[in-house]
Structure 1
């Protein structure tokens, strides 16, 4: 039975019919430690590193004792869903989460999926990337560790946002290849709303609109792109964007 771990939306661990929800974890700090050790499971994490993430510059005098208590409660929580007692290991002042080799972690799956979608698109097989794009899209849009604003959580949140943006870009291509032009147009508009200076989104939006026969609207998108780039960055559209525009004018 594959262990499934979700670090987006509600943090939880599923092992078959057994569920460890974040409400059963030892508070906010227990939730953060579990997420940290799962996400960083390929390496040992020192006590000092965890302490800094938990308490920042206001590390209490008895922080090591407090961290040990959190770790002990986490071990008990993991045992409650059938994971071995040595899943969370301690050695030489470090902790490491040693999960079953086939454990599924949502943020890892999102990163793998968006890469697979991009590979399929680069190989001119966008329909093969359709499912991968939407796996990454649905995971990437979920909030990561709501309420945490420390450096590590912020970096992880930014990385997940980039996965989501890449997934949106893939979805535009895959939807268009599948004939779902309305979905492709919506995905492009969503991407532009999130990243107003991302020229590739404008390029794909122009192409999708042109495929619907709405060349006039596609040309307006170029003007929108030109205006935003000028106002935000003080630069003109790239040669690639101009080439799409010119193909619309000549077409």
Structure 2
């Protein structure tokens, strides 16, 4: 069995995938999955399904639950009615979010232990769990505000960590990937620092310095701030041609930035 929220909603067993056509039923299933193994009160489920404006009658949720069980065929029996609410009986290993969380944690631990090959492999496996944006086809502002942004950030943190391991290993060029990532997420200093490091190590010092000037202008224009101290230190090390790989730690530990949309200039 496999259940997924990291992309389009997924329910699959050895017979194939189960389609949940109703938007409200998809929200209800996602809400149950996000509370996997927990008894959830009907009021909490209704809040997610109707985005904070649930109907007065409890019968509406009961009808939605009945139709969801029917859509899931034999798997619908896994939605149990308990005292105080409903519980979806899904094993941790059957849920893509659990697999991602575990692999990510193992990869980060390996990175902290300087086990770069293992870290890169574990973080690659964690990222392979994703099939698209979290809760992609689940139309609930409530669930998205409570979960989607956090999960997207955890995914990007895993990308950053995997690239740190790749830079330590130096086995392939990560420059094209980092160009794409800085374009998509210009507010994340970690990606800019990794791009500068990768360019420098390929003998492209002038390009690495140009990247720093670009992000400095970008942050100043859009956020009114200067690059963080770690990024400034990296810039100085590149100016001095003093950026050597180290077996002890990844090159860059960024400070947090307030979230903002930055347009590339």
Q: How many residues align?
A: 240
Gaps of 5+ in 1: none
From the two aligned structures, give the one with the greater helix fraction: 1
RMSD between aligned alpha carbons?
A: 2.3
Q: 1:218 aligns with which of 200, 205, 208?
A: 208
Match for residue 5 of structure 1? 3
Q: 1:187 aligns with which of 153, 157, 177?
A: 177
Task: List aligned pairs for 1:15-34, cutoff 5 A.
Answer: 15=13, 17-22=14-19, 25=20, 27-34=22-29
Cα pair distance change 1:13/1:116, threshold 3 Å: same
* Shift of residue 35, structure 1, vs aligned partner: 1.3
Cα pair distance change 1:149/1:33, threshold 3 Å: closer
Q: Does 1:94 align with 2:85?
A: yes
Secondary structure class of the residue paired with 1:43: coil
Query: Contact between 1:229 and 1:237, CA under 8 Å: does it hold in 2?
Result: yes
Query: Contact between 2:51 and 2:142, CA under 8 Å: does it hold in 1?
Result: no
Query: Contact between 1:141 and 1:161, CA under 8 Å: does it hold in 2?
Result: no
Q: Does 1:203 align with 2:204?
A: no
Name the TM-score, length of structure 1 as normaliser.
0.84
Q: Report which stretch shifted further, 35-44 or 213-222.
A: 35-44
Cα pair distance change 1:139/1:193, threshold 3 Å: farther
Match for residue 41 of structure 1? 36
Q: Which one scores higher on RCO, CA 8 angstroms, separation ≥ 6?
A: 2
Query: Contact between 1:171 and 1:187, CA under 8 Å: does it hold in 2?
Result: no
Task: List aligned pairs for 1:102-181, cutoff 5 A.
Answer: 102-140=92-130, 142-143=132-133, 144-146=135-137, 148-181=139-172
Cα pair distance change 1:32/1:219, threshold 3 Å: same
Q: Report which stretch shifted further, 195-204 or 208-217.
A: 195-204
Name the TM-score, length of structure 2 as normaliser.
0.80
Deviations 1:47-100 (A, max 9, x none): 1111121123543344x222212222333444525x7x3x2122234111122x
Gaps of 5+ in 2: 242-265
Query: Contact between 2:120 and 2:165, CA under 8 Å: does it hold in 1?
Result: yes
